[in-house]
Chains A and B, each alone.
Chain A
Amino acid sequence: MKTTLTTTALSTLLALGLASAASAEIRIGATLSATGPAAFLGDPEAKTLEMLVEEANAAGGLNGEEIALVLYDDGGDPNKARTFATRLVEDDEVVAIIGGSTTGTTMSIASVAEDAEIPFISLAGAIEIIDPVRPFTFKTPHTDRMACEKIFEDMQKRQITTIGMISGTDGFGASMQAQCKDVVGDYGITIAADETYNPTDADMTAQLTKIKNTAGVQAVLNPGFGQGPSIVTRNYKQLAIELPLYQSHGVASDGFIELAGADAANGVRLPGTALLVPGLLAADDAQKPVVDAYKTAFEGKYSTPVSTFGGYANDAWLILSNAITTAGEADPAAIRDAIEATTGLAGTTGIYNMSAENHLGLDLSAFRMLEIKDGGWTLVE
């Protein structure tokens, strides 16, 4: 007890001394879903932010000021996210917020951030976050709609006009299914068969047989997340369906090839980010240095493979730290203006060009169309 007191007293003194020496600190808030059902998103995001802030402080902070990261875990619950966002604004007095691993939590945080006029960068997928544009809300991940567009663009190049869809009924699959059906007409493609499966189903041969026997189907698209797409891919092989199979960016990882089996996954195409295929990027690719730096740092520190989701957090930090440096001061309004003026910033997900009308700043070039060959990734030109 006595030692604890002494230590506390000493560290308080020390902290006071440091604070006066380093003038002030920049306080940045984050509320992520590091646990709970969306932990696969929030966990790598939280790890990424902690790592990057540590790195930045070791390099002398931003504008010579130390960065303090206040990180909360909302467990994927929009109500908790709202509470934490309010706490970040009122008690922690942060100048910017990163977070919202899911669309639900993002919407809660956005309303708090907009009221308090604090810039907020979301890490969630839905297009509704930035359309219509809210003055203080930005986001880094590409939208489901862009993934659909990228896939349909590739189908168009292969003269495919009639497709079958088999979608997961989980949030990811259902949202992407809706977005794809929304834009499919723009590409002169018709959906002749539209089937679904539960994310926990063990066998999808019934749905696939139905698609296979639908007249005129030239390719199959499977929006989904988790083990579902792997089972679909295996069943596809089992039924010996020869049509091209497209998966979504939801399974863009080496784990997918492993689960589906290299043999069954052969020839599957999907839109992925540069982060997935660092080895395939051209030496002069603008994203290559960013991707390499993030991958090396993350895998070195946590010895788990990088994921697309951690990449979203990496990009949010790049945009924010760049904006704080450009603004030259840690004032929320100045940071907001600087974020909106971001141009040509290369992240792991794509190259960001923000504007007053576009608070995402990515275009379709952020996605690379990939094809699985012999258990590895290849770029489709």
Chain B
Amino acid sequence: MSELLQFLFSGVTVGAVYALVALGFTIIYNASDVVNFAQGEFVMLGGMLTFAGSAAGLPLLLAAVIAILATAAMGVLMNKLAIEPARGAPVVSLIIITIGASIFIRGGTQLIFGKQIHTYPSISGDTPIRIMGATILPQSLWVILGAVLVFIGLWLFFTRTLLGRAVLATSNNRLAAQLVGINTNFVMTLSFALSAGIGALAGVLISPITMTSYDVGLALALKGFAAAMLGGMGNPKGALVGGLLLGLMEALTAGYLSSQYKDAAAFIIILAVLFFLPQGLFGRKSTERV
């Protein structure tokens, strides 16, 4: 019993990390249909900048806030310098541009901050919480809380605010959105800032568990992307559920089958789901109206 519970805790810890990364993909995807492969780099920047700030003597909370704002600014810059000039290019080209931006950010971080692995203290200590013989770290609860709060925020944003609907409208038909008076340039800028900020928040929360260095972004982005695909790209609920499912599948495979097949088993299940539900578990049905 305690064994199963420990596997579940392990799965939820990892799953919450994936979910938080996956949530970052949703906004940019909803605004432009672009899968932003630099999302992992935003997560990395959140962790690295927080570390750099606290190493420079700032209190951790202040360092985290600065890291999130700086990363959001980075997102805006990326939109202005790389995505906007290529406006009108097909989505595939834009996705390739985001891959280029991710390589650029990774290289720049390596040059400025070096190649060392860093970490900083957890928010509420490292004393594990014991429940029926299994343990979970307090930081994992913070990650889960962060994922849930971001999910609620995004859900409210897309369903209850005019701005959120403007983002969805821009994605649906940019020209029509412009005709009804939506400033699509502003929507794009905003979506990059929000996505980068959410990514950085993820980085701030997960770095005490996963540690951080200039090259952690790629692996995180891949897992987050897989989670988002499983749940349904663009849907915050899908990102949350997809992330947790992916983490649980990995932990249970590692626990009951073999850790050698951990990733393989998870990806086989994802492939099977996508085979029957190509839009993911909660994805929009794409119906073309003529």
List chain A positions with a Cβ less than 8 A from chain B. Answer: 39-40, 43, 195-198, 200-207, 209-210, 213, 226-227, 230-231, 234, 238-240, 255, 258-259, 261, 263-264
- A239 and B17 within 8 A (CB): no
Known: A227-B211, A230-B211. A206 touches B6 (CB 8 A): yes
Asked if B211 and A231 sit within 8 Å, CB to CB, the answer is yes
* Neighbour of B259 across the interface among A39, A43, A197, A240, CB < 8 A: A197
Asked if B260 and A203 sit within 8 Å, CB to CB, the answer is: no
User: Do A195 and B211 form a contact, CB below 8 Å, given A205-B10, A206-B11, A238-B135?
Assistant: no
At the interface, is chain B mostly helix, strand, loop or mixed?
Answer: helix
CB-CB < 8 A to B250: which residues of A?
A: 206
Alpha-carbon distance between A261 and B258 when the two chains are bound, in angstroms: 29
Candidate in B3, B10, B250 with the most chain A CB atoms within 10 angstroms: B10
A206 touches B128 (CB 8 A): no
* Residues of B close to A263: CB separation below 8 A: 126
Give, as a whole number of angstroms, the nearest-CB distance from A272 to chain B. 18
Contact at B211–A259, with CB atoms within 8 Å?
A: yes
How far does the alpha carbon of A202 sit from the alpha carbon of B251 in the complex, in Å?
11
Query: Which one of A195, A202, A205 contacts B9 once the chains associate, using CB atoms below 8 Å?
Result: A205
Question: Provided the pairs A209-B6, A227-B211, A230-B211 are in contact, do residues A200 and B216 lie with their beta carbons within 8 angstroms?
Answer: yes
Other A-B contacts than A198-B263, A238-B128, A255-B116, 7 sampled, CB-CB below 8 A, are A200-B219, A202-B17, A206-B11, A209-B10, A227-B213, A239-B6, A240-B128
Which of B126, B216, B254 is close to A206, meaning CB atoms less than 8 Å apart? Answer: B254
Q: CB-nearest residue of chain A relative to B17?
A: A202
Q: Which of B101-120 contact A (CB under 8 A)?
A: 115-119
Q: Is there contact, CB below 8 Å, between B209 and A205?
A: no
Total A-B Cβ pairs within 8 A: 87
| Chain A residues with CB below 8 A from B206, complex form | 202
**CA of A209 to CA of B135, assembled, Å:** 11
Q: Across the interface, which residues of B come within 8 angstroms of A200, CB to CB?
A: 210, 216, 219-220
Q: Which residues of A contact B29 (CB under 8 A)?
A: none
Judge if B13 is at the interface, Cβ distance under 8 Å.
yes
Partner of A240, one of B116, B135, B255: B135
Residue of B nearest to A202 (CB): B210
Bound-state CA distance A204–B137 (Å) is 13
Cα distance A198–B220 when bound, in Å?
A: 12
28 A/B residue pairs, CB under 8 Å, sorted by A: A200-B219, A200-B220, A201-B14, A202-B206, A202-B210, A203-B13, A203-B251, A204-B10, A205-B10, A206-B7, A206-B11, A206-B250, A206-B251, A206-B252, A206-B254, A206-B259, A207-B255, A207-B259, A210-B255, A227-B117, A230-B211, A231-B209, A238-B135, A240-B128, A258-B119, A259-B117, A259-B211, A261-B126
Q: Which of chain B's residues has its CB closest to A40's CB?
A: B115
Q: Name which residue of chain A comes closest to B251, CB basis.
A: A206
Q: Name B254's closest neighbour in chain A (CB-CB).
A: A206
Question: Which chain B residues lie closer than 8 Å to A226 at the CB level?
Answer: 117
Closest residue of chain A to B114, judged by CB? A304
CB neighbours of A209 from chain B (8 A) = 3, 6-7, 10, 255
Inter-chain CA distance A238–B126, complex, in Å, is 8
Whole-angstrom distance between the Cβ of B213 and the nearest chain A Cβ: 7
Given A40-B115, A198-B263, does the pair A206, B10 have CB atoms closer than 8 Å?
yes
> Could you tell me the distance between the alpha carbons of A27 and B259 in the complex, rounded to whole angstroms?
50
Q: A residues within 8 A CB of B254?
A: 195, 206-207, 210
Within 8 A of A (CB), among B71-93: none
Q: CB < 8 Å: which of A205, A234, A258 contacts B6?
A: A205
Q: Which of B17, B119, B252, B263 gathers the greatest number of chain A CB atoms within 10 Å?
A: B119
Residue of A nearest to B223 (CB): A200
CB atoms of A239 and B10 under 8 A apart: no
Interchain CB contact under 8 A, A203 and B117? no
A contact residues around B11 at 8 Å (CB): 206
When distances are taken between beta carbons in the complex, the residues of chain A under 8 Å from B260 are 196
Chain A residue at minimum C-beta to C-beta distance from B140: A203
* Contact assessment for A234 and B126 in the assembled complex, using a CB-CB cutoff below 8 Å: yes
A207 to B219 Cα, complex, angstroms? 20
